[in-house]
């Protein structure tokens, strides 16, 4: 579904240039539910905006659902944003029109269908996210969590191949966040490919594949341990603090790997040089001033 190779994004101002992505490589297969995490400024939202067709890469290659985002015309990009990707924002002001009902909001982006077909599909989508009973409600009558569920329905209105969500649980309480994640999980079980950017520790620890971005590159991946794959709906698990995933460092296409900061500090380096050794089939990174035993 997504193939990013050596993706670079440079933002220029009169005074300086900011390198938001520095050769990012990532593959996401059709049918995956993947989360992207990282500190503010790491490049995760920039990457999501590129996949959504809202921002253009500076260099590299980016393919989504067989489409090359580097070679698209403006007309092709409009069709791509309408038919290939659906977007759920953290700020519901970008998702919803306050003067329309929930049903009208979901029907609005639908195209090339009769009014009856639009209404039937919109009702199905509202049922899917548990909001059919609020179909006639205006946005000021709904809680933040209810609005976010309607935003998911809107993003699915044109049956996108890829659903993108930028901090979808960032403005709701824990209980509502769990419900929203359950909606994503159910959609994914039905074959929907989903990519989520999140700071929500509990949500990220429930996802089967989590990609961490640091300094504009993929630094590591976390994979849900098999013992937890069938326990996502259990209320007795403290998802914020329990060790639910195994973490792997990621080699880029040039064979480079980012060493976590906490491990770097244990090396007590005086500069940026390290010694690389092999021992019993393992690769060891060592302080060059350390005496070999």
The reply to whether the predicted model has a pTM over 0.85 is: no
> Does the structure show a pLDDT above 70 at 78?
yes
pLDDT value for 23: 85
- Sign of the dihedral defined by the CA atoms of residues 108, 114, 115, 117, in that order: negative
Q: What angle do CA 54, 75, 84 make, to 5 degrees?
A: 55
Mean of the pLDDT values across residues 108-122? 78
Mean of the pLDDT values across residues 206-211? 88
> Does the structure show a pLDDT above 60 at 49?
yes
Mean of the pLDDT values across residues 69-73? 89
- Integer Cα distance of 166 and 68 in angstroms: 22
Question: What are the C-alpha distances in Å from 99 to residues 86, 130, 259?
Answer: 22, 21, 50
User: Could you tell me the pLDDT band of residue 12, with boundaries at 50, 70 and 90?
Assistant: confident
Q: What end-to-end distance do the CA atoms of the chain give, in Å?
A: 48
CA 14 to chain centre: 31
pLDDT value for 33: 93
pLDDT value for 196: 92
User: Could you tell me the pLDDT band of residue 140, with boundaries at 50, 70 and 90?
Assistant: confident
Which residues, other chains included, contact 76 with Cβ-Cβ below 8 Å and sequence gap of 6+?
Answer: 67
25 and 4 in contact (C-beta within 8 Å)? yes
pLDDT value for 28: 94
How many helices (H) and strands (E) the chain has is answered by: 8, 13
What are the structural domain ranges in the chain?
2-255, 259-293
3-class SS of residue 118: helix
> Does the structure show a pLDDT above 60 at 82?
yes
- Integer Cα distance of 210 and 206 in angstroms: 9
Mean of the pLDDT values across residues 243-272? 82
Helix or strand (DSSP H, E) at 46: helix 44-51
Topology of domain 2-255, per CATH? Rossmann fold (3.40.50)
Residue-averaged pLDDT of the chain: 85
Burial status of residue 104 (CB atoms within 10 A of its CB: 0-12, 13-18, 19 or more)? middle
User: Highest mean pLDDT: which of 28-32, 50-54, 128-132, 143-147?
Assistant: 28-32
């Amino acid at each position: 579904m997504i193939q990013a190779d050596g993706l670079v994004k440079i933002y220029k101002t009169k005074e300086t240039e900011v390198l938001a992505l520095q050769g990012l490589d990532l593959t996401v297969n059709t049918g995956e539910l993947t989360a992207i995490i990282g500190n503010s400024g790491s490049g995760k939202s920039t990457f999501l905006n590129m996949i959504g067709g809202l921002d253009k890469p500076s260099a590299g290659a980016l393919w989504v659902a067989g489409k090359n985002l580097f070679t698209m015309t403006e007309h092709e990009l409009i069709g791509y944003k309408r038919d290939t990707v659906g977007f759920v924002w953290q700020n519901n002001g970008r998702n919803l029109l306050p003067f329309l009902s929930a049903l009208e909001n979901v029907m609005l982006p639908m195209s090339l269908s009769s009014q009856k077909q639009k209404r039937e599909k919109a009702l199905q989508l509202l049922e899917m996210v548990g909001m059919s009973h609020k179909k006639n409600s205006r946005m000021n009558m709904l809680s933040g969590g209810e609005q976010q569920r309607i935003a998911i329905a809107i993003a699915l209105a044109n049956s996108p191949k890829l659903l993108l969500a930028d901090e979808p649980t960032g403005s709701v309480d824990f209980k509502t966040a769990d419900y929203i994640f359950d909606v994503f999980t159910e959609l994914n079980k039905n074959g929907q490919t989903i990519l989520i950017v999140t700071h929500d520790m509990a949500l990220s620890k429930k996802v089967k594949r989590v990609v961490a971005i640091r300094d504009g590159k993929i630094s590591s991946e976390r994979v849900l341990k098999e013992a937890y794959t069938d326990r996502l709906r259990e209320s007795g698990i403290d998802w914020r603090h329990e060790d639910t995933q195994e973490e792997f460092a990621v080699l880029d296409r040039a064979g480079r790997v980012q060493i976590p900061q906490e491990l770097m500090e244990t090396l007590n380096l005086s500069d940026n040089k390290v010694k690389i050794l092999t021992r019993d089939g393992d690769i060891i990174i060592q302080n060059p001033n350390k005496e070999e035993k």
